[in-house]
Homo-oligomer: A and B are copies of this chain.
């Protein structure tokens, strides 16, 4: 049992090591220009080994997203459980959670949004796809829950809370991708934090009663 456990842990650690390497390479070169060998080299493993831990390249890519969604979900559940916060404070907490997700690992986040908006989605294994769907669904519900709370307390305008969640999520991803894109196209080093701050400020003002 102890041995089994240790093996389990070691396996998990190996998986993690690969994901860290993958994240770095994907972020630097993008999905298509990244080769399995690049990742293997970065992880100091052989290409074949990667296939012991991930079904294929797509799966490895998508697995990165799972970790960040899990992190976000924890933050959201934490917000939900904070009974003392008023609606506005919850919104502030959401903003911080989102920025926290970005700071937690910008590269992974960008990866995830790329994944979200890309053809890769179509090639995932059904199982992984369903895990992602499941998690992102839960996250959306977590966000919606915050709006629900504000609406119930007559602090926010009466809109469908899930619709609001989708919009704020789209806003978040749009900003992250657009800022990143400007960095590539224009070599501008725009300040994401500032942009997010402003966007949320406007959004919050926009939904207040």
Q: Report A's interface with B, CB cutoff 8 A.
A: 29-33, 113-114, 116-122, 129, 132-133, 136, 159, 163-164, 166-167, 169-175, 177-182, 184-186, 190, 194-195, 198-199, 201-207
Q: Knowing A114-B117, A185-B121, say if A178 contacts B166 (CB, 8 Å).
A: yes
Query: Chain A: interface secondary structure?
Result: helix
Closest Cβ–Cβ distance, residue A204 to chain B (whole Å): 7
Once bound together, how far apart are the Cα atoms of A195 and B159, in whole Å?
11
Closest Cβ–Cβ distance, residue A193 to chain B (whole Å): 12
B residues less than 8 Å from A184 (CB atoms): 121-122
> What residue of chain B has the Cβ atom nearest to residue A114's Cβ?
B117
In the assembly, how many copies of this chain are there?
Answer: 4
The 4 A-B residue pairs with the shortest CB-CB distance, nearest first, are A174-B174, A30-B119, A206-B206, A202-B206
Closest Cβ–Cβ distance, residue A201 to chain B (whole Å): 8
Q: Knowing A163-B198, A202-B203, A206-B204, say if A119 contacts B32 (CB, 8 Å).
A: yes
B residues less than 8 Å from A121 (CB atoms): 181, 184-185
B residues less than 8 Å from A31 (CB atoms): 119
Once bound together, how far apart are the Cα atoms of A203 and B204, in whole Å?
9
- 12 cross-chain CB contacts under 8 A: A29-B119, A30-B122, A113-B117, A117-B180, A129-B185, A133-B185, A173-B177, A173-B178, A174-B177, A202-B203, A202-B207, A204-B206
Q: Which of B116, B167, B177 contacts A199 (CB 8 A)?
A: B167
Once bound together, how far apart are the Cα atoms of A120 and B29, in whole Å?
10
